[in-house]
A and B are shown apart, each in its own frame.
Chain A
Amino acid sequence: MDVLNVEYMIGLVPVLLRYLPLTLQLAGIGMVLALILACLFAVIRVLRIPVLNQLTIVFISFFRGTPLLVQLFLFYYGLPQLVSALTVIDGVTATIMGLTMHFSAYMAESIRAAIVGVDRSQTEAALSIGMTNGQMMRRIVLPQATRVALPTLMNYFIDMIKATSLAFTLGVTELMGATQKEAAGSFLYFEAFIVAAIMYWIVVELLSKLQNHLEIRLNKAYSR
């Protein structure tokens, strides 16, 4: 077995670090948009808003039922074929669109379950003092549901960070794309990908720390 080329690995770190911001940007924007969309879907599902509820069910079913890679190819290669104006969609945009829709479908179901799980006495108390449904959702239900949904949502965020690596199939040079190029040039595949893997791992570990911190904060109200 050949010995690992440690010098190459160390030299690769600053090179790959330049592409990490794009990876984080894809995941960060994707997560914010997915969260907004998921909250919207969850509220539509909980309140069973006619028509929108049925459309949401189909949306969730499709985006949970098909592979993310297929969805990315549909956005990047498929849509411009149907609508020529959409040829302006670049790889980054298509990735963000794909991540947003794919993960919003999963997150909507987690948020919906967390909303439904909020004790009925909480909603009755909110209504009894004269809050509107919107005020009740914003002030009482969603903050309580967030606490329940947080661990699952953070798992999806972690999953999303890793899923950004699929962007390289659309020609986006993010962390994975850059690693692929470096490895192809040096033929040191193991070294290159182990550096990339460690970078993903560190980012996810930092996020896990943030999750612990948030959980402690949100659980403050519930400790005796």
Chain B
Amino acid sequence: MIKLDSLSKHFGSTVVLDGIDLTIDKGEIVVIIGPSGTGKSTLLRCINFLEQPTAGTMTVGDLTVDVKKASRAEILSMRRRTAFVFQNYALFANKTALQNIAERLLVVDKWPKEKAYRRAREILDQIGLGEKADAFPASMSGGQQQRVGIGRAMAAGAEVILFDEPTSSLDPEWVEEVLGLMKQLASERQTMMVVTHEMSFARDVADRVIFIDGGRIVEQGPPSEIFYNPQDPRTKDFLKKILATNPV
């Protein structure tokens, strides 16, 4: 379970997140939509503490922290509970696909080498890249790299996987294979928070769609409500624009 209470993030005088209150149940698939620059990615980055939130409290699993007073140990613990999938994949360039997935298990969780690599191989097979175990990121397609990125997040055994526009950097030909893997994870009821412009994914997979604008949650609900019966004029306006180029 994830619970955010009045989570805020300021960059200087700019308010990017303005008191976000949000509860996500275990196994829930949440898709976050909204115009560019409204704080969607910052919200995910704050949950993973890649950005230190300015104020609020955050609960992930059995750990609750006051973000302002979070100790180094609490930040590390929060990061270990929340896996991140980056828009630009961000695979470790000096490590093979297998090592990218095993890294967290070896270094952070201190698993024995054999056990960590066995688990990493299982994940590689699961994401359909068993034959790419020894390939370095530079030799893989964007789609393959992002699948390894998701595999790395899966290895973490995290409470939630945070997807930050996971298909935005991909050539169209690779988008489906990544979305397919995300759908597979969703069907296994892995808790997910996904920032994306893939509206058909939001409609088909999400349990809940959250529309964010100006650093605030404007509207949220099941995809059927948000897409077919939005209440707030800002949601209507956003959907009108985005569905014109990206129909569900």
Chain A residues proximal to chain B, CB less than 8 Å: 119, 121-122, 124-132, 135, 139-140, 143-144, 147, 220-224
Contact = CB atoms under 8 A, between A and B. Distances in A.
Contacts, number: 69
Nearest to B96: A221
A128 B83 contact: yes
Interface stretch (B5-13, B24-32, B86-94): B86-94
B76 interface: yes
Given A121-B88, A124-B86, A224-B139, A130 B79 contact: yes
B136 A222 contact: yes
Nearest to A130: B80
Interface residues of B, number: 27
A128 B107 contact: no
Given A129-B84, A129-B104, 6 more contacts: A122-B93, A125-B86, A125-B90, A125-B92, A127-B50, A221-B96
A122 B76 CA distance: 17
B86 A121 contact: yes
12 contacts: A121-B90, A124-B50, A124-B86, A125-B90, A125-B92, A128-B79, A129-B83, A130-B79, A139-B92, A139-B103, A220-B136, A224-B139
B190 interface: no
A125 B99 CA distance: 14
Interface string B88-131: 10111111100000011001100000000000000000000000
Contacts of A221: 93-96, 136-138
Of B86, B92, B136, chain A has the most CB atoms within 10 Å of the CB of B92
A219 to B, nearest CB: 10
Contacts of B76: 130, 132
A129 B136 CA distance: 19
A131 B72 CA distance: 12
B78 to A, nearest CB: 9
Contacts of B91: 125
B107 A135 contact: yes
Given A130-B108, A139-B103, A139-B107, A124 B139 contact: no
Of the listed residues A122, A127, A129, A223, the one surrounded by the most CB atoms of chain B closer than 10 A to its CB is A129
A144 B93 contact: yes
B175 to A, nearest CB: 20
Nearest to A118: B93
A143 B92 CA distance: 11
A222 B138 contact: yes
A143 B94 contact: yes
A122 B90 contact: yes
B31 to A, nearest CB: 20
Nearest to A142: B94
A223 B138 contact: yes
A131 B108 contact: yes
Contacts of A121: 86, 88, 90
Contacts of B88: 121
A143 B48 CA distance: 25
Interface in B41-55: 48, 50
